[in-house]
Every structure is written in structure tokens, then in C-alpha cells.
Amino acid sequence: MGPWAVSWMMLCLLCLPPWARAQTKIPLETVKSWADAFGGELYSIVTKYSGSLLLQKKYKDVEPTLKIKEVDGLELVKKFSEQMESMLRRKVEAVERLVEAAEDADLNHEYNSSLEFDYYNSLLINDKDENDNYVELGDEFILEPNEHFNNLLVNTTYSDIQLPTNVYNKDPDILNGVYMSEALNPVFVDNFERDPTLTWQYFGSSTGFFRLYPGIKWLPDENGVISFDCRNRGWYIQAATSPKDIVIIVDVSGSMKGLRMTIAKHTIVTILDTLGENDFVNIIAYNDYVHFIEPCFKGILVQADRDNREHFKQLVEELQAKGVGTVSKALTESFKILREFRDAGQGGLCNQAIMLITDGAVEDYEAVFEKYNWPDRKVRVFTYLIGREVTFAPNVKWIACNNKGYYTQISTLADVQENVMEYLHVLSRPMVINHDHDIIWTEAYMDSALPQSEELFASQAQSLLLMTTVAMPVFSKKNETRSHGILLGVVGSDVPLRELLKLAPRYKLGVHGYAFLNTNNGYILSHPDLRPLYKEGKKLKPKPNYNSVDLSEVEWEDQDEILRSAMINGETGYLSMDVKVPVDKGKRVLFLTNDYFFTDISGTPFSLGVVLSRGHGEYILLGNTSVEEGLHDLLQPDLSLANEWIYCITDIDPDHRKLSQLEAVIRFLTGEEPDLECDEELVQEVLFDAVVTAPMEAYWTTLALNMSLDTEAGIEMAFLGTRAGLMRSALYVGSEKISNKKFLTQKDKESIFTMDHFPLWYRRAAEHPPGSFIYSIVSEDESEGGGLPKVVTVSTAVSVSVDGKMGIAAAVGVQIKLDLLQRKFWMAMQQPNDTDCSGFDGACPLSCQDDILNCFLIDNNGFILVSKIPEETGKFFGAVDGSVMTQLLNMGMFRRVTMYDYQAMCKVPYHHHSGARPLLSPIYAFVAAVKWLISDFLIFLLEFNMSSFWHSDNLADAKAVFHHSHRHKKHDTLQPCDTEYPVFVYEPAIKETNGLIDCGDCQKMFVAQQIISSNLLLLVTDTVCDCSIFPPVPMDAKEVKFLNSPAHNASVKCERMRSQKLRRRPDSCHAFHPEENAQDCGGAAGISVCAALLLLPLVLLLR
């Protein structure tokens, strides 16, 4: 297409009318000579100061001693999987020891209702009163920073107890449970000694307390409240129950108005919070008729992932009470859905339940249950009677008790949490009676409940912040309570995914390779392209859907979901795909052919994938050198190692934790630390690279000593990196004069070797022809102090060939000031004064400084490095000159590549949510409030239990609720969305082109010329012809919209939400047990409420 396009343009040029041909002419030979001169000088500078030719020669010299081994991807992924399985098995064994200790302690403990016992309360430890005495439950508790626990202050000899604000810390149930669980302390310590890679270990009690090891100081939120309740956490709920299909039925008849509706909504939201990705759910509202609160979900159940749960919560807020209740139709519809899903083999295929939320039932609806649920009673029915009214309580309780469910009465908002939790204990009974200690693994999550979580978010690679939990239920083994199936709680331990991925070393995966993990539901557990955080203002926060990102949304080239399906099914296999890999924050793209190797991790719901890029990415270089020679060169001051890579294990033995990886390798090689465990293959590679690259230090030093500050001002640094993570660098100026001080430091992760990736300058160079340099401008937001870009990073790959196989051994480069590049550019872009101008029609001698010309230096993605207007530096050329960019795209010199981001966050315009009246005026609000006070306030006061009115903890809890509901921010909010965006890529086969652009009244000429041995282009354009009729070529990301029609968008969105992606169900199911005591089916609750919650309905009304 290129040559044809050029010929066509030349023909057009010849056929133009005289007035058009009289436009500014740009001689092609002149532009080519400028490009060649500039390119030659640039190449001379960067080869000299990087030392690339010397480094290439040194690797060429050792080629006869090198071996290039092809990686067997399947063997590699199997080996990694076995190592991960072994590591995770040790975590399971630790949890099993805790379960045994807890159950034995309970068996030997006799409940004492008058027990008095002091324990370490994590909120109160080390607190003193005004007399300098430790407060009750707050004795001295020694805390010390510990690197293994992210430098938090911890006590590794003892655990302590956390309680949510709404749980009384001296309740007899709490005291007995805490006293009994003291037996876990020595087991925590012993587990940590046996396996020093263990992190947090804990016991979450069914009564609400949380025993955490190592002990920490727990801090309340900004409202003085501790809202963390272990019973609401995914690991607790998953371990306590099997997968469940739930239909929630809510009464929205007129009698539910006011406070009752508020309590009902809170009850639904609390139930939704107990569901996870292995559960399925729908919500039906009923009054005169039955309707699904999401019409799109009519007649089906949907997976209770985070997206769907949040969607339901928004719809629940909009429910309004009116009409008369007809519960029998809602029950019938629910039974039909559950039966259809069960018969079709869909949903959880384990527990099924209906949650009935109402303020009364006029009958027991025996006919409905007889038709749809008896005698097998495959569906449990849980009933929640809202309000103090007891007239219909017998019917509501009868429904639960005759369908293996549980009945509770919820009179206040404070009752909701404890009463909802009861259904989990009922569902856990079969498992408890059977004593089935299922091991569960959770989806990926961030523990933002711990102190300093925000600092951790900012300091680590996003994909490595996540963790999974292994957990097991703890049962009462007392014979007298066997049929009741008493769940004591859940024990668990966190496994940072960073620790798992250490078992898939970077150096074995090549320049672009990586390892990733996903769950049985197809969700990403860990992936280098997973971005779980977003920025709100200056704060980093987890995205709402960060742990339900599907594999198909990250590996989006897998359009037929072949990879996803195979991994979910736990298969072992191989797949090849051509992929487009975004780099440099999506501004650039690498085109790779990736080989995917995958297998399951036995004993877990996880699958492991290993990706190797075809070609050099599947080769490992093996060199040989003596320890003595290599050690000498390792000690050179310019050398460093990738500190995130594991050359030696330094994070287990406390004596080794202070060592850098380089220090650890040196001590290992010298025999100073015989206990150090090191990766000998990687250490051997480092030794070899240290020897081969050693001459670079002397070379760079000599250059630095002999530099001319006049002619060579602006060359700041030389650097190199090898495939073993070894780096060398040398400064050509004083460190105080360096323009980009972040480069090659932890503050610029893209420029160094990390657990996730090779440096960007290395990755881009590896996909560029050997001997040719990649020039990359540091964009405005990345440069020191913001403002205009100041530096350019230049790099090239160093290759080796053995037996016809080519591998990338290293990359080498320089960082130069943009000012130097600009000086050299403008000097080269002019004809000498003695140019022979005879026979030339137009300005002569010609210069890029002339007013009739615009000259640009752009890179292979269209970003400007040099322009007459300094403010255009770093910008996309299409935004500056849409006419020329459009023509370059039409001629095929550049092509537009469409990329997708399924983890984007889009702005949603601010609007105040109020279900019935979105735009409630202040006057209307006042009138409505007065009306409510007159009509309902007396009933409202009667309905509340007034005990503990002034309880300070409860007041604090209410304060939190009030603040939460009224902390509205009047600005656009961000929410997850899908976007598409263009990346522009130069086609290197077209080395030069030119053309005329019809701009209406005139024609604009342009010439584009490739700069040799680089990724740069010289663009010369005519300034006389105004071509502003052409719009800029945008690079902005746009939210993916299917069609302009709102109805079609809604239809497509509905189809996507209804679709049931392939998933693998958990292996175990505990739905019923013949010895279960179904008559233990509940009664009225009597839980104290906080006084400030009395104001909540008025607060909600005035929202």
C-alpha cells in the first residue's frame, strides 16, 4: 500500500492546476539530507556515550561459551504449580492446627455466665486514664515494627481481641469465648515458628469478637467507630456455609411505610453483604402485584458478585411502599425460579432459600408449601418480621419452622445485623453435625481494615497488594449440642499473592513473560495488568469491582474464551495468541505472539497461567564463569541487582531481612552466610553478566573524565540492564544536575526490574531491530516537578546468537537532556549559506527556522520531541496538526490501533439520590418532616427498645451511620466502565513520503522522512496554507457505547448482566442432615439500640 500511495500522491502533484502548484515547495532531497545528517550525528552520540558497540562486542566474544536453552512452558507451569501447592499446603496445615486447638478448648470449657476476665482489647491496649493508669482491658502491650508485617507495629508473642463498636466488650458470651480461645495463642506462635512465611492468623467468633495474631493496636475511623465485623467478611461466610441460591421477597405494601421500610431495606442490604461469588440471588418486591426489582433479571438468578450486589443495593434504595400485600404469588414465583434452576443444573446446586421480609402474614400459606416444597423441603424459608407488631407473628414463625428455616423479629435498625446472621448459622448446621471441615480459599482482596493500608497502596505494585485467605470452620464437639450444630466461628490465615508469585521467578519468563492466577469463577486473582486501585483526588482507593475482574477483561484478545474455559475447568494445556500489549500508560503498544501454558493448583480453586512471548522470550541464556572472577566484578560500585527479585531468600530469617539482594548474593558466594538459601541458576547468570559487562565501568569513567562540556553538554547518564536483573549506571554530570532524579529508582517503577516486569526501556528496545535505538520522551506528568518534558531516554537491545537461536542478553542506553536533542536538530535542519540555489524555485538556502516551514521530530507513536513551539513537546502530533496526521493515516505511514480497557473508571455527573423524590425542595422537606413527626413519631418511640439509651458505644455507632448517610460530595463521581482508545503506530516499511493536502483555498505540502537507526521521523510542513478545516486527531479514551439508541443500550446491558459465564462450582456441598434439629427455628429478638439511631428516619427523610 505504501509505494502505491506515494506514486499516487506524486501523480496528483503533477496534475495540479498552476495556482495550486505555486504553493510552498519543500525539496525532498533537502529533507532527506537533513534527516540523514541529524540521524548520523545522533547515532554517533548515543553509541559513543552508551557504549552499546562495546557491550555488543563483549557479548559477541563470549558467544562460543554460551548456551541458549529453549524453555519448556508446560514443564515450567507444572513445576511452578507444584511449588505453589506445597506452599499453600503449609498454610492449610497451620489452619488445621488452629481448628483442632479451638475445638478442644471449647470441649474442655464450661460456660460461666458470671465469668470475669481481663483480656487485651486491641482498641484499648496501652491507653491510660488521667491518673496515668492503664484503662480497663487496656494493659501494657508491647508493639514493635516488623518488616514481615509491612513494618506495622505488632506483638509476635501474643494475639489481641478486636470487637465492633456495637458489640459489648464484657458480654458473658464474649468473655467466655475470649477466655476459651486463649488456647490459640501458643498455636499461633508455634505456627509462625514452623513456617516464617505465614502472615496474619486469626479466629473470628460467631459471637462477634476477632482474635488476631500478631496483636496490633486497632484504630477507630474518623467518627470514632470500629465497623469491622469479622462475621461479615468473605472468608467467614464462605467457610461457614456452602454455596446458596437465595430469593429475597420484600413486602412493599402500604403498611410498610416509614421506619418499617427503612428497616426492611437495611435487612436486604445486610443479606446481600453475606453473599459471595459462589452464590446466586434475586429480589422480588410484592404489593398488589409481584415484580422483580430488576426487570432484566425476571425469572432467573444471577451470580452474587460485587457488581450485581451493588446494583441490587441501588435498586433497593428506590423501593416505595404502597398498595396491599399478596405474598402467596411472590412465594410461588420464588419456588418456581429455584426449581427451574435446580432442574437445569444452574446456580449453586447446593443450598436454596427464600428470605421473606414482611410486617405480617394473614395466613400460613400451607397450600403453597405443600405444592412446591413438601415433603422434601429442599428450599429453606427464613422469615423476618419487621416492627413491634405481634398479631401476625405466629403465622410468620410457622412458615419458617415448617420449612427448615429460622424466624426473627426486627424492631429496630440495631437489630438487623445480629438477626440476619442467624440464617448463616442455620445453613451451617449440616456441615457442623457432620464435622466436615471444608477448606475454603477466598477471591483476591485488599485488607484495607488494617492500619497504614493507604501507605501500602502507594508503595507497592498494584497487582501485588492483593491477598487470599485460607479458612476453616470451628464446631462445637459437645455431644449434648450435636443436633443444634453450633458453629463456634472460623479460623483463617492470609496468603499475600506476592508470596505465591515469588515461586514463578521473573528471569525464567523472559522480557515480556509473566505468571497469573485466576479463580474457579474466572476472576483474576493476580495479573500484572490488574489495576485494583484508582485515584480520587490525591488518595488511592480500591475500585468497587477490583476483585471481580474477569480473566476475559484482562486477556481480552481471548475473544472466544478458550483460555478462560480451559483454566476454569482446571485443565493443563497450551494456547497461542497474537496480542497487543499496552505500555507506557496505554500511549504505546507492543505486538507480540504469546504462548500461554496453564494448569490447576491442586487442593485449591485456583489455576496458574504462564505466558512466554514467542522468539527470544522462550530462550534462557546460560553462561559460565568462575565465582572468583564474578565476585570481583560484582563488587564494583556502579552495579546493582533487582531488589524485588529473589536471588536469595532474605525475608524469613530476621538476621537476613536487612540485607539487599546484592549483599545477600555476595555473602552467599563468600560463604559468610552459609544458611542463606539462593537460586543458584540465577546467581550463576548474574556472575556471568557481571564479568561480561565489567569493562563498561572503565569505558564510561574514561568518557566522563574527557567530556567537553561545550560540545557534549546534556548527556547525563549511561545505563544497562541484563536479563538476570543486573544493572550498571554511570553519571556524566554531578548527581545534583540530573534532570530526572526518579529514573532507575523505586520512585519510577517503570524504569527498573520489578516482580511484575522488565524496565520499559528494555522491553521496547527488545522489540526494535538490533543496533537501532528507541528514543522515549518523559511525558509531562512524569517529569520532575511537572511542566514541560526535559529528558529523553535512549536504549537499544544487545542480542546473542547460538546455533541459529537469537536471545536478548541485555539492553543499554543513555539519558540525555531534551535541550541537547533540540540543539542538534535545529543545527542540522538548514542548508549551508553557500548552497547552489540555481534552478531552485522558492526560498533558498532553506532552513527549518524559516517562517514558511514547520519542522517536527516525532517518535513512532506520534509524540513530538522537537517543535518550534516548546509547549507542543510531549504532545501527540495529531492534536497539533490534524491535517497532516490524517493524511499520514490515509497513506498507511501510521495506523490506528484500537485498544480496550475493561478496568477503566468513568465520571458520572453528580445527582442527589432520593428514591421517591430525587429533587426534594427544602420547603417540601420541612413540611414532610413536620407531617411525619405528628403522625409517626409516637409509634416510632414505642417501637424502639430504650435500654442502653445513653450507651456511648452505640452513640458512636449512630454517629457513623449519620455521617455515612450525609457525607455527600457535590462533584462528579467515578464508577467502573469499559473504554476504547486509539494508539497510533508508525509503519517502518515506509521510510519516506510526501504529499499535498487540499485545504479549500490552498494546498499544504508536507514531507516525512525516517531518521536512520532510530524510531524517529522528521516531518516538514508548509505553514503558509491554513489547514485548520481539519479537526485534531484525538487520543482520548471513550466509554464503550453500543448504539446511540438508549433502548438498544439497555437491551445490550441487560443481556450482558443476564449472561451466565462458565464457572466451576466448589467441590463440597452441605445442604441438609437427618439429625438436624429443625425445631430450633427462632423467636423474638431483644437487642439494645443506640439512642442516636432514633433520628435516622428523619435523617433519611430529609436526604
User: Based on C-alpha coordinates, what's the Rg of the chain?
Assistant: 34
Q: What is the pLDDT of residues 872-908, one digit of tens each?
A: 999 999 999 999 999 999 999 999 999 999 999 998 7
Q: Supply the pTM of this predicted model.
A: 0.85
Quick one: how far is CA 276 from the chain centroid?
18
Amino acid in the structure at residue 261: M
pLDDT at 1097 over 80: no
Say how many CA atoms lie within 13 Å of 657 toward its Cβ: 13
Sign of the CA dihedral 984, 988, 992, 996?
negative
249-253, 374-378, 536-540, 595-599: which range is least confident on average? 536-540
Contact by Cβ (8 Å): 598, 775: no
Give percent above pLDDT 90 in the chain.
59
- Cell numbers given for 677: 538459601
Which stretches of 152-225 are DSSP H helices? Answer: 172-181, 185-194
Give 69's contacts (C-beta < 8 A, 6+ positions apart). Answer: 619, 620, 622
Which stretches of 318-452 are DSSP H helices? Answer: 327-343, 366-372, 393-401, 416-434
Residue bearing cell 404502597: 322
Using alpha carbons, select from 984, 990, 877 the residue that is nearest to residue 580: 984
CA dist 629 and 153 (Å) reads: 43
394-408, 625-639, 938-952: which range is least confident on average? 938-952
- In three-state secondary structure terms, 214 is coil
> What is residue 779's predicted lDDT score, i.e. its pLDDT?
64
Bridge partners (DSSP) of residue 863 are 876
Q: What is the pLDDT of residues 109-149, one digit of tens each?
A: 999 999 998 999 999 999 999 999 999 998 999 999 988 88
Amino acid in the structure at residue 373: N
Cα angle: 455, vertex 457, 460; to 5 degrees: 100
- Cell numbers given for 204: 473470628
Residue 843 dihedral angles phi and psi, to the nearest 5°: -65, 135
- In three-state secondary structure terms, 244 is strand
Residue bearing cell 437491551: 1051
70-84, 918-932, 967-981: which range is least confident on average? 918-932
Using alpha carbons, select from 412, 381, 385 the residue that is nearest to residue 396: 385
When pLDDT is cut at 50, 70 and 90, the band that residue 910 belongs to is: low
Query: 642-645: long-range contacts (C-beta < 8 A, 24 or more apart)?
Result: 642/506, 642/725, 642/726, 642/727, 642/752, 642/753, 642/754, 644/753, 644/754, 644/755, 645/505, 645/506, 645/507, 645/682, 645/725, 645/753, 645/755
How many CB atoms within 10 Å of residue 934?
A: 9
Strand (E) positions, 343-486?
351-358, 379-386, 407-410, 440-441, 467-475
Sign of the CA dihedral 973, 978, 982, 988?
positive
Q: What is the pLDDT of residues 973-1021, one digit of tens each?
A: 888 889 999 999 999 999 999 999 999 889 999 999 999 999 999 999 9
CA dist 64 and 69 (Å) reads: 14
- How many angstroms separate the Cα of 464 from the Cα of each of 460, 509, 528, 604, 927? 7, 17, 8, 19, 53
pLDDT at 838 over 70: no
Contact by Cβ (8 Å): 565, 1062: yes
Averaged pLDDT, 153-175:
93
Quick one: how far is CA 638 from the chain centroid?
35
- What's the chain's average pLDDT? 85
Quick one: how far is CA 165 from the chain centroid?
30
When pLDDT is cut at 50, 70 and 90, the band that residue 823 belongs to is: very high
